[in-house]
Structure 1
Amino acid sequence: MLAPLTLMMTCALCALSTAPVFAGGIERTAFSTGLLFEQGRVVQFELGGFRPDVSGRLSPAFGPLAGTGSGDMTTDFGLWTLGAKLPLGDRTDLMISFDHPYGADVSYPRTGSGYILEGSTATLDSSALTGVLRYRLTPAISALAGIRVEQMTGIANLNLAPPSLPGVTLGYDVDASRETDMGYILGVAWEKPEIGARVALTYLSSITHDFDGRETYSTPYGSQTATTSWTSEIPQSVLLEAQTGIAPDTLLFGTIRWTDWSAFSVAPGLYRATAFSSDGSNLVDPIEDTVTYSLGLGHRFTESWSGAVIATYEPSSGNIVGNLGPTDGYRSLTLAATWTHEAVSSSFALRYVEIGGADTRIAGFDDNSGWGAGMRISYRF
């Protein structure tokens, strides 16, 4: 009787997609094939929120200002997703989903502390429409293929108060165009429903956005404006998802995901000629590729209630990161519960994240964390 438990745990895991991850400093939701393996026709809605706390202190290189705190440079945010799974015949299923896979809300507070980026802000918005077909080659083996259409835009407004120029503030602004581009998805899956076992391997291609933007660099001596173009590649990734029943009403599940973040950067032309980039660095620099591991255990307590605990780990690289995303790896623990009654399933998740410390070119960011919560409502028809 593992099939009902498999469904209930899948519901609980889907609720977690609204609790953000931190790879690349901009990733907020992660793709999953779970919905494709639901029985029958399903519509689901997910809603979540996250409250991060990320702050740093100027490095010893800043002399008398060393140790000056940035204050919390993040803001609370919410996420929502919508998805549906529809059978198209005896062997074919279709999954359609809409989500917001990437984002950033950076706001260095104006505390009067003397932190040199005080008042700087940045926003990144994205949305994606994904469609994936699953075709059963045999009762146990399926092939997956799909398309992902992604839209992205961003704005940054930076302030810099150089310690060598007391009373002087420099400014840099960039407003990127809203671009829509496409990638593809390929995968294969094996399953044995009677014991709740399934393994799915999925490849998501990169998506390249060609942005146009207006940059302005302001100094006490005047300002310089330029209309520029640059290319940013949202990286390719490989996702391995697995689960199996290990005891009556008990499910073991996990994921391993590799993401090619070293291919991602944001490099407007004027920015690299400003005082904000003294060594020619980009607005958002490439970082190391990431591998994220997740392991969970689920148990059905009654016909209506099940619960799960999930641990997630992404090791830090130890490399220098950018001031608009000063994190490096993370660890998290999630508790999830699912209630099922007839055609409706409701899932709830609470997640604590220990955000990996990181060094930028001007500061060190340590002892940071965040809390997330998510819910999902699923209707079978």
Structure 2
Amino acid sequence: MANHLMKTTALGLIAACAFVGGAQAGGLERGGYNIDLLFDPGQYTFESGVTYVAPQRKLENVQDTDASDGPLNALGYEGSTDETESYFVPRVGFKAQLVDGLDCMVDYSQPWGAHTKPGSTWAGANHNIETKVNSDNYGLTCSYKFDAGPGQVRIIGGGFYQQVDGFKDRLVVAPEVLPAFGLTGTGLGRLDLEGDGWGWRIGAAYEIPEYAFRASLVYNSEVKLDDITGTLDLTGVPSGLPGGGGLFGNVTDVYGATAMPDSIELKVQSGIAPDWLAFGSVKWTDWSQLQSIPFCPVSTRGVVACATGSPAGVDVTSLDLIYRDGWTISGGIGHKVNEQWSVAGSVTWDRGTSQGFGSQTDTWTFGTGVSYAPNQNVELRLAGAISLLTSGESGVVTANGETYGDDVSYDFGTDIAAAVSTSLKVRF
């Protein structure tokens, strides 16, 4: 019973439920890191899957609190808007047992991402029209296991390469006020960015196959994006408008630096009765290192440090996130119905990363999944989830001696996100 349970419910449905549960996590998390394929008992195993997430976050009672770029409420801009966009999260992996006790896995995933699109007609357009972040992660992870007591110890290590890119559009000045200066234009500004870096992971696990027991602890390092490059496009803002500092009407090459967060995750699973298994996990992610990310003209590189609060004309724009650390706690039950079918359910709590600035509050996710294995070599999985996005508000906050959120305020109620995940695993 236990060995078959490990091959189906444990490695199939836990992964499926975890994926749909974590796809609506805080910060910039999308697929996160997942190395469960490394534990598959097959000698050679291929896995591919995709998760679709449809969040529904509505911002209400929107007030433009910075009239210097145009009083958007008075100009008729909308006081409510839908902020979020639906997205897909793909994943592909291949695991091989190289020699007895030594397993290695290569995989492609998209651990980070974000897409908000409140649009250009809401009263917070001076804060955000559309923001999108993409990532591509290519990893190699290996483990070596050996006997210890009634089970086996597994030592885990590996590395990964990440590419991150994105953009942000916002209203720099309302086009309705430009005629007062004898000017015309869209008033729009756009920031485009890209960067890359390397990371590593280390961990350990203890397994007792007889009881379908496994406990693992894995640390994933931060990924330093030391050379983010891009452009600040202000061609939509007339160069004759006062206060541009030479930026209005031009495209300026910019640069900056940050790091994607490190994380540590504990996972535990165990058979609790014939054909029944319980599982759970706790993960910490260092989102608090992403506060305000300044960007400066390439022409100033090596002359003046690019940092928030730099002398005028150096720090020309920034991405303000002001996150706090993320915590994700999940638990669930799996059941093998017969030799082909298994089912599972899970509950996940994710602590919101916003601190009074932004709309990422606590999330509760309820997931369920089904696994169909027509034989020992093929497994199909389907999982779904509903997330409750708790209510809150966004406004002025002070962090690291700087003020943020003084351009717009809004609130939001309890909203819902839906997710569905499907995957195929083939052993040969």
* TM tier, smaller: 0.7 to 0.9
Give the equivalent residue in structure 2 for 1:70.
80
Q: Displacement of 1:224 after TM fit? A: 5.3
Q: Deviations over 1:143-172 (max 9, x none)?
A: 000001111111111125679969897432
Give the equivalent residue in structure 2 for 1:339.
372
Question: Partner amino acid for 1:242?
Answer: V
SS of 2:8 mapped into structure 1: helix
Question: Partner amino acid for 1:303?
Answer: E
Does residue 49 of structure 2 align to residue 46 of structure 1? yes
Q: 1:246 aligns with which of 265, 268, 272?
A: 272
Q: Deviations over 1:14-61 (max 9, x none)?
A: 334653534443211122332111112211110221111112124568
SS of 1:36 mapped into structure 2: helix
Give the equivalent residue in structure 1 for 2:131.
122
Give the equivalent residue in structure 1 for 2:312.
none
Does residue 344 of structure 2 align to residue 308 of structure 1? yes
Name the CA shift for 1:366/1:161 in 2 (closer, same or farther; >3 Å).
Answer: farther
Name the CA shift for 1:244/1:49 in 2 (closer, same or farther; >3 Å).
Answer: same
Q: Deviations over 1:231-281 (max 9, x none)?
A: 1210000010110011110000011000000112433247979xxxxxx99
Q: Could you tell me whether the CA contact under 8 Å between 1:70 and 1:115 is conserved in 2?
A: no
Q: Displacement of 1:126 after TM fit? A: 0.7
Give the equivalent residue in structure 2 for 1:141.
153
Distance in 2, matches of 1:333 and 1:208, equals 34
Q: Could you tell me whether the CA contact under 8 Å between 1:15 and 1:46 is conserved in 2?
A: no
Distance in 1, matches of 2:331 and 2:220, equals 21
Give me the TM-score of the superposition, normalised by structure 2: 0.79
Distance in 1, matches of 2:6 and 2:131, equals 41
Q: 2:32 aligns with which of 30, 33, 38?
A: 30
Aligned pairs for 1:183-222 within 5 A: 183-209=199-225, 210-217=227-234, 219=237, 221=241, 222=248
Distance in 2, matches of 1:64 and 1:182, equals 43
SS of 2:373 mapped into structure 1: strand
Distance in 2, matches of 1:246 and 1:327, equals 36
Does residue 58 of structure 2 align to residue 55 of structure 1? yes
Q: Displacement of 1:316 after TM fit? A: 3.4
Which structure 1 residue ranges, 5 or more long, are not aligned? 274-279
Name the CA shift for 1:64/1:84 in 2 (closer, same or farther; >3 Å).
Answer: closer
Distance in 2, matches of 1:115 and 1:234, equals 27
SS of 1:208 mapped into structure 2: strand
Give me the TM-score of the superposition, normalised by structure 1: 0.88
Q: 2:198 aligns with which of 157, 182, 193?
A: 182
CA RMSD, Structure 1 to Structure 2 (Å): 3.0
Q: Could you tell me whether the CA contact under 8 Å between 1:191 and 1:197 is conserved in 2?
A: yes
Q: Could you tell me whether the CA contact under 8 Å between 1:17 and 1:30 is conserved in 2?
A: no
SS of 1:93 mapped into structure 2: strand
Give the paired residue count: 371
Give the equivalent residue in structure 1 for 2:15.
14
Give the equivalent residue in structure 2 for 1:351.
385
SS of 2:13 mapped into structure 1: helix
Distance in 1, matches of 2:41 and 2:237, equals 61
Name the CA shift for 1:338/1:22 in 2 (closer, same or farther; >3 Å).
Answer: closer
Question: Partner amino acid for 2:391?
Answer: G
Give the equivalent residue in structure 1 for 2:411.
364
Name the CA shift for 1:242/1:182 in 2 (closer, same or farther; >3 Å).
Answer: same
Q: Which moved more, 1:180-189 or 1:351-360?
A: 351-360
Question: Partner amino acid for 1:103?
Answer: G
Distance in 2, matches of 1:288 and 1:244, equals 32
Q: 2:109 aligns with which of 99, 105, 114?
A: 99
Q: 1:328 aligns with which of 352, 361, 378?
A: 361
Query: Structure 1 vs Structure 2: percent identity of aligned residues?
Result: 22
Distance in 2, matches of 1:317 and 1:15, equals 24
Distance in 2, matches of 1:23 and 1:338, equals 24
SS of 1:283 mapped into structure 2: strand
Distance in 1, matches of 2:295 and 2:357, equals 17
